[in-house]
Chains A and B, each alone.
Chain A
Amino acid sequence: MSCYARLIEQFAEGVLSEEIAAYTDNYIGAHLSAIETTYPALYEQLGADTFGAIAQMYIRHHVPQSWDINLYGEAFYHWIRGQTEGGKADSFSWGTLARIAQIEYAISIAYYAKESQELPDGLSLIEQSEQDQISPDLLCALTKQHPYTDFQAYYDPKLPIIVWREGIRVQVRSVAHELFQALE
């Protein structure tokens, strides 16, 4: 390894190990902001303090692997679901919030997806479960926070959901199991 490469590596390690605190703060702050942007409805449901605490732990455990910061937070809904085992297990309906988070990430993927010739642009497939049904309250939160997205008035918890972009609008639709399986 060249001297230059070694210095770059040491600096990068210093940022992650909090030895270079100003840059560690920037790193956490930038990714926290990115997650807040991707998950606005979830942020609204949890509030700044709870959301911030969970997101900061997530950031410390998940390495950003794309130059595009808009794609960061892919596994955040798993992290949200995992809160059922945490200290605030009874404070929120974590399963339902994880479902909301999954939809919000899919919206972000569709929004930033390149145009595709074969599949609908930025297609994501989301399984549903009856215990995590999206309530009218949560649907309102999603609708308010995602102005470029078309939601249905009601999502049957027995049916899976697909998310994709059509022109300049993102679509979130329940579909039959047969279509879902075909898309899978």
Chain B
Amino acid sequence: MNRDYGIYVVVALLVILIETFASNLLAIGGITPDLLLVVIVSFALQKGQLPGVLFGFASGLVFDIVSTDVLGSNALVKLIAGYCAGFFHREGASLQSSIGSPRFIGVLLGCALVHNAVYSFLYTRPAEIPFVAFYLKNGIAAALYTTALALLPFFYASRQRGEDY
């Protein structure tokens, strides 16, 4: 049980490093995927809402510090993502059953859309940037890109479970 938490923390730190050092390699047309969100949603689905909220907040805060983003902005949106994903938690779910189910993709897309909506709102609020246009271009595209990348762990986990999609 504790080993699971340790693995998630290590994976989250690795993902933060990847997003910090190699985000431009993953960018398509200026849109970058949010790999940390994938980790948070997986964690919340497997561990529950409260751990999801705490994990989302902590990892978002670390990301804020590393990425020079406004301190607290990613902490807020990531905890919201963990909170939303936690509603779909099933008691006793394993990592394979959490990630290897089509539900994971649906929950991730929903959480990514909410996450990006809140982030876009926070981002455009102090500036003269139209929120709706900004969200349609960046928020939705980034959510779809993140979900598309999450298909890789989904297919891997579903094969582990012995299910083919």
B is bound to A? no
